[in-house]
Structure 1
């Protein structure tokens, strides 16, 4: 499994009251979806923020196929863009990875 996937999405921000372009990096190993104001800022390591994926719930907007949410720690992040299917697919793979990791830990504890 690849450890990193990246691409553009828009993120809803309450501060700016609208959709803001962001460059996202999904790191399976760290369990983080980090975001940057641009790909150039990502290359320079200037992260704007991140969303922890462990325990997160992804919601798909039934009326708008380009919009989805990630809810974690009682906070909901709103995203929009063509990368949605890839993020959801990747998160599902990440979730399966976590479940496999959990099964391995449970097996080790019972041995």
Structure 2
């Protein structure tokens, strides 16, 4: 591991382990969890609030990880929506809340 990678991990990595369920394998790893809550502006006006969390993980730790694989962190279940490109040894994993292939709860109130 390069010195800069160690420094990033020491400064920002979560204290709680992140569990990746890759097929039948259970892989425990460490990473950076980000709760994104910035609105996205549309060219025609309006905004879409993107509140999906993102994990920053070592690319070595995510070998075999694919869309729909389950991630456990913070007492919650998430599933992989998208795996970003290799950013010099790290990749951003975009998550959705819940279990893979689980029906979303019905909406009762619209705001």
* Same fold by TM-score greater than 0.5: no
| Richer in helix (by share) | 1
Relative to the length of structure 2, the TM-score reads: 0.25
